[in-house]
Amino acid sequence: EADGLAVRVRRWWDPSPALGVMQPAALARGVRALEDELTAAGALTAAGPAGGGLAGHPDPGGLAAACAAGDLAGAVEAAERIVGLGPGLTPSGDDILCGLLVSLRLLGGAVRHGDAAVRLADWLGAAVTADAGTRTTALAATLLHCAAAGGAGAEVAAVLRFVAGCEPPGRTGQGAVRRLLSVGHTSGTDLAHGVLAGCRAALALTAPGVRSASRVTA
């Protein structure tokens, strides 16, 4: 309390949760579990991500595919096209990028052979934050910088802990995913689609063949 202004802490969360050390097989199980929960919630179909502010737009899918292939140039091109794309204080394109960046960094840092995912987060984060201040809202630009550094909101952090198998006792994956999807008008769905793309890419980049062919270099 200062000068008559009282500030009360309502909740705490770790913006960069420690996910422990994972084997690729454990990450694969976590990704499948996330896919199941998103499907049950109607945010994922056999055709791909459903809903969100950029439904039907080709670049989110192209971005996800490029990341999973370790195609840095393709990922940067697709990412730069969706910076600031969409309405609101946090445009849908930025929400997707935030979910993607933080997932690549945190899961890449946790899973064995995840160094390519971390390098991809480094390069992609640098590309989308370089001029974010002039291409999107001030809030969205700040969140992009946070995500590029590995900082996540509480709802995203909970989903990543679920994927990594380290959600606290009593918490369920369904609850974590539903809480994320309930954020904002489309922000939660867009963040979830970005998280899924990042999780899938982090897993794909652990495969020996993808690692050796990856164009994400040190």
Mean pLDDT of 55-76: 96
pLDDT tens-digit profile of 87-110? 889 999 999 999 999 999 999 999
Residues spanned by the domain of 181: 24-213
Q: Widest CA span of the chain, in angstroms? A: 62
Within a domain: 39: yes
Residue 53's nearest CA partner among 95, 102, 97, 99 is 95
For residue 168, give the DSSP letter. Answer: P
Query: 195 Cβ partners below 8 Å, 6+ apart?
Result: 34, 99, 100, 102, 103, 156, 159, 160, 180
**Residue 216 — very low, low, confident or very high, per pLDDT cuts 50/70/90?**
low
List, as one string, the DSSP characters of 116-157.
HHHHHHHHHHHHHHTTHHHHS-HHHHHHHHHHHTT---HHHH
- Mind listing the pLDDT tens digit for each residue in 172-208? 788 999 999 999 999 999 999 999 999 999 999 998 8
Domain assignment of residue 19, yes or no: no
Q: Is residue 15 part of a domain?
A: no
Q: How many domains are contained in the chain?
A: 1
Pair 160, 107: CB distance under 8 Å: yes
Q: What's the mean per-residue pLDDT of the chain?
A: 92
In a domain, 2, yes or no: no
Domain presence at residue 158: yes
> Is residue 106 in some structural domain?
yes
Report yes or no on 203 lying in a domain. Answer: yes
Cα angle 179, 182, 186 (rounded to 5 degrees) comes to 140
Is the residue at 14 inside a domain? no
Helices (H), 3-114: 24-40, 58-68, 72-82, 92-110
The residue type at 181: L
pLDDT at 215 > cutoff 70: no
CA–CA separation, 115 and 118 (whole Å): 5
- Residue 5 pairs with which residues in a beta bridge? 2
Residue 18, beta-bridge partner list: none
